[in-house]
Amino acid sequence: MYDTFATDRLIDLWLTEDIGAFDLTAQTMIEASEEASFHMNAREPMTVSGIAVAARVFQRYDPSLRIKVLVADGQRVEKGAILLEVSGSARSMLTAERTALNIVQRLSGIATETARYVDAIADTKARLLDTRKTTPGLRALEKHAAACGGALNHRLGLDNGVMIKDNHIAVCGSIQAAVARARKVLPVLTKLEVECDRLEQVRQALETEVDVIMLDNMSLADMKAAVDLVAGRVKLEASGGVRLETIRAIAETGVDYISTSKITQSAPAVDIGLDDAQ
Which member of 43, 116, 132, 133 is catalytic? 133
Q: Is 79 assigned a catalytic role?
A: no
Q: Is 132 assigned a catalytic role?
A: no
Q: Indicate the pairing of strand 35-42 with strand 82-89.
A: antiparallel
Cβ pair 257, 238 in contact under 8 A: yes
Cβ pair 126, 250 in contact under 8 A: yes
Q: Is 139 assigned a catalytic role?
A: no
The residues, any chain, with a CB within 8 Å of residue 120's CB and separated by 6 or more, are: 244, 247, 248, 251
Residues 162, 163, 164, 168, Cα dihedral to 10°: -90
State how far the Cα of 172 lies from the Cα of 252, in Å rounded to an integer: 34
DSSP H helix total and E strand total for the chain:
11, 12
Q: Indicate the pairing of strand 35-42 with strand 192-196.
A: unpaired
State how far the Cα of 95 lies from the Cα of 14, in Å rounded to an integer: 12
Q: 196: how many CB neighbours lie within 10 A of its CB?
A: 27
State how far the Cα of 72 lies from the Cα of 122, in Å rounded to an integer: 22
Cβ pair 17, 61 in contact under 8 A: no
Cβ pair 56, 121 in contact under 8 A: no
Which member of 98, 139, 224, 248 is catalytic? 98
Which member of 23, 195, 222, 237 is catalytic? 195
The residues, any chain, with a CB within 8 Å of residue 89's CB and separated by 6 or more, are: 32, 34, 35, 62, 64, 65
Supply the residues annotated as catalytic: 98, 133, 165, 195, 216
